[in-house]
Amino acid sequence: MSDLKYCQGPDCHTYTTQDRLKGTKPNKTYQTRRRSSFYYGNSNFCDQRCLYDWVFKYIEQGLDHFGRTTKAKHLTEQNSWIKDYDYENNDYENKHYVSINRITKERRPLTEEQYGDNNYTLNTGE
């Protein structure tokens, strides 16, 4: 019970569903949903409506804070590496990890450790 957390939707408590109605009569109120885990917004929101309520409320502040895109970004040889894996000869026991350049189509082998390392990349530019 100690790991329950609240939905971060600013209006969660205003949606009058039965599961939000809590407390004992005559003091029952609709309350923010509280659960051990959520499926939306990096596990912070009980549903898509609450996620979008938060986005609509805070999106301008967020963009101002973290910086807006003010010019086109470009996909180049330097920033187009993605990680992937495949199987050789339909041998589904053996994954082959690979970096693929989406511009040049070059493929370079990866170790499983490099594949799982979120900080490992061949990309050198934004």
Among 20, 40, 41, 50, indicate the residue that binds Zn ion (CB under 5 A): 50
9 near Zn ion, judged by CB under 5 A: yes
Residue pair 61/93 in contact (Cβ under 8 Å)? The answer is: no
Give the separation between CA 19 and CA 91, rounded to whole angstroms: 48
Residue where the block lists tokens 């205003």 = 14
Tokens of 37: 């885990």
Give the separation between CA 109 and CA 100, rounded to whole angstroms: 9
Tokens of 96: 């082959």
Q: Which residues does residue 82 pair with via DSSP β-bridges, in sequence order?
A: 100
Of 7, 9, 5, nearest in space to 53 by CA: 9
- Residue type for position 78: Q
The least distance separating Zn ion from the CB of residue 20, rounded to whole angstroms, comes to: 8
Give the separation between CA 109 and CA 122, rounded to whole angstroms: 11
Among 40, 41, 46, 54, indicate the residue that binds Zn ion (CB under 5 A): 46
Q: Which stretch binds Zn ion (CB under 5 A): 47-55, 64-72, 102-110, 117-125?
A: 47-55
The least distance separating Zn ion from the CB of residue 61, rounded to whole angstroms, comes to: 20
Q: By rule CB under 5 A, what count of residues binds Zn ion?
A: 6
Nearer to Zn ion, 46 or 110 (CB): 46
Q: Which stretch binds Zn ion (CB under 5 A): 6-14, 19-27, 61-69, 72-80?
A: 6-14
33 near Zn ion, judged by CB under 5 A: yes
Among 12, 54, 80, 99, indicate the residue that binds Zn ion (CB under 5 A): 12
**Interacting residues with Zn ion (CB under 5 A):** 7, 9, 12, 33, 46, 50
